[in-house]
Structure 1
């Protein structure tokens, strides 16, 4: 049985991918030091979809929450489980997760980021997960109190009410995300301190190239999603096709110079929300790593919504994207070894026969 189990539950868009990359890249070093990161990142992600019983779980997924918990239970030392999707579990699902890890000492780790940066990042993530709503509609829904899912799935306050209350105050940890321009190393140091990872044990990983899309690119993807209709309706097929061959292969490689964000007309509203969030977390009994003042937006510049772009900007982006996809298709073609070009034709004929 492990001594302690740290469950890092999110929130999304708080640098979790960077932290996870460092953890998994150093899994062997950590295990030798008595800290287990079970299996792979994909295993944690699959266990998350099982725990939450989401309808978009990959039917071919192997890992379940119980299987991951069983892997953790067999280790004598400390264990870290991590998925930014854990935080969206219901109260009942969170209770099941924590109880399945006991009698080990369970710690809940949550990260928080200022709302000025979170709003556009969260909306972009929803579009990259096959969403179709406009940025201004998303903001309006949050502002009118018509989208509680944002607060439930993307803020530490709500996550703590479902997860944090299941463990003693000393085992609840809040990590604040440093302001823009600060090195990723500081975020890692904060997480490492919570996990009890000694300085210098891990080799630092370069931040993964996962750039945000610019306004024309994300608006183009939103319209593509709407035009897809019922094609690629689930998470995994969409990721394998649209994410792999459109977003990663083409859209992310564009300059993405036209940025978007919350307009200054909503600055007072966002600042008021930030103060409310800070006050709630200050009143919550937990271990804070960082500074709650970092949840107050440091830089608020005027921005526009992708929905306000001129048709010419979108047309130019669409044409350049088609050119990019032609180049991507040619790269894939060149990867086929000489003499094997007929393989694809046979595969296509076989697929047509099965579908026909």
Structure 2
């Protein structure tokens, strides 16, 4: 029985990946004295983006990914995480960005399950001013979801609407919620101090550039490519290629008047204010509306501290064309084949599983054994909820 179980609900673009990598590293090194952060990912490379230890649990709370919710599955995944936790520590920390998009009723089920293992369950959330948050998220949408719209009123409204859904979810949870201000240079120290750990703990990596925002030229080119192909897989491959080729390139400066975004957000709040009457909602909204102002890039400290080589359009186009060719040559054929498969809930199709999990395919391992040993725990589900007896 833990004293407290902390559930870190990572809002997108608030340093969640950085915190998760740092906690993962500190846990491996045995540096956390009061807090158990079970390490579920066996990867030793802390220079790349990793997911939080609550990913498999949180995945089950996403309606669009798991239409049929199963409390028993969540209970089993929670038990597996608890089995890897250090019971000698006073508190347990679970983290995932997926929690921020959870179905409210499913989230309550998770809280109920966790309450059986601690004296109290409390939520942790970092909140960033809406102008910085929205601009950073826009770059993420262009990179990962083939966004092609310009950064303007239409995107402001869709982003703000989704943000308010997350505020409503977190603000109405039946538990204590701790809200922290986003600080580009001190996220980890703030969290460690709150947890009662040494805020000066050293982390064995200094920076993560794999997820930086785009330069002005990269953004313009990728938006044009997205408008033509509309393929998130392609935009991800191209942006990753550019970023790895020039990880320290300065991100595009945001010259948008933050008041434009504030007006949109305030209008949405006024139209449905009763949804955000809870004290936690109001506290989160106060921080969201505390705009920073001024034209700054999304990677302020990096771009000023490190001399970089500006990317040239020929090099960017060459890399993009190579990824487009690879996509057309391989991915399109695989996608067409995948569409011909007719999965059912009663039969596990190993081919379908491999198509949805390309790393398993590349590793050349048995998909059935992989799903049984790792897939379920990692939340790797195809259209099937179980493996048929034919494979047992």
**Shorter-chain TM-score: which interval?**
0.5 to 0.7
Q: 1:175 to 1:205 in 2, by over 3 A?
A: farther
Equivalent position SS for 2:207:
coil
Q: Separation in 2 of the partners of 1:282 and 1:202?
A: 40
Contact 2:6 2:92 in 1 (8 A): yes
1:70 and 1:302, CA in 2 relative to 1: closer, same or farther beyond 3 A?
closer
Partner of 1:339: none
Using the TM superposition, give the Cα deviation of residue 318 of structure 1 relative to its aligned residue in structure 2, in angstroms: 5.8
Shift in Å at residue 252 of structure 1?
Answer: 5.3
Change (3 A) 1:242 1:133: closer
Total equivalences in the alignment: 288
**2:58 alignment counterpart:** 48
Describe the superposition over 1:53-107 as per-residue Cα deviations: whole angstroms up to 9, x where unpaired. 43399xxxxxx74444113434423211111221111211211121121121211
Residue 125 of structure 1 pairs with residue 119 of structure 2: no
Corresponding residue number in structure 2 for 1:300: 294
1:91 aligns with 2:104: yes
Question: Is 1:284 equivalent to 2:279 in the alignment?
Answer: yes
Match of 1:203 in 2: 203
1:214–1:257 CA contact under 8 A, matched in 2: yes
Equivalence for 1:7: 7
Quote how far apart the aligned CAs of 1:190 are: 1.1
Aligned twin of 2:123: 108
Residue 254 of structure 2: SS of its match in structure 1? coil
Distance 1:223 1:70, change over 3 A: farther
Distance 1:224 1:18, change over 3 A: same
1:52–1:89 CA contact under 8 A, matched in 2 = yes
1:321 and 2:316 are equivalent in the alignment: yes
8 Å CA contact retained: 2:37, 2:92? yes
Residue 25 (structure 1) shift: 0.8
Once the two structures are TM-superposed, the CA of residue 213 in structure 1 deviates from its matched residue by 0.4
Instruction: For 1:172-191, list aligned pairs within 5 A.
Output: 172-178=177-183, 184=185, 186-191=186-191
Q: Report if the CA contact (8 A) 1:13-1:118 is conserved.
A: yes
Change (3 A) 1:3 1:15: same
**How far 1:31 moved relative to its partner?**
7.6
Task: Indicate how the Cα distance of structure 1 residues 174 and 26 shifts in structure 2: closer, same or farther if over 3 A, else same.
Answer: same
1:118-167 Cα shifts (integer Å, max 9, x gaps): 11111122222223341345x33544x796223224xxx434224xx311
Q: Secondary structure at the match of 1:11?
A: coil
* Matching of residue 24 in structure 1 with residue 34 in structure 2: no
| Cα pair 1:47 1:65 within 8 Å, conserved | yes
Shift of 1:228: 3.1
- Matching residue within 151, 154, 158 for 1:140: 154
Mark the runs of 5 or more structure 2 residues left unpaired by the alignment: 42-49, 68-72, 270-274, 298-310, 325-329, 339-392
Once the two structures are TM-superposed, the CA of residue 173 in structure 1 deviates from its matched residue by 0.7
Q: Which protein, 1 or 2, shows the higher relative CO under an 8 Å CA cutoff with sep ≥ 6?
A: 1
Change (3 A) 1:285 1:51: closer
Partner-residue secondary structure (3-state), 2:2? coil
Please give the root-mean-square deviation of Cα atoms over the aligned residues, in Å: 4.4
Is the Cα contact below 8 Å between 2:255 and 2:296 reproduced in 1?
yes
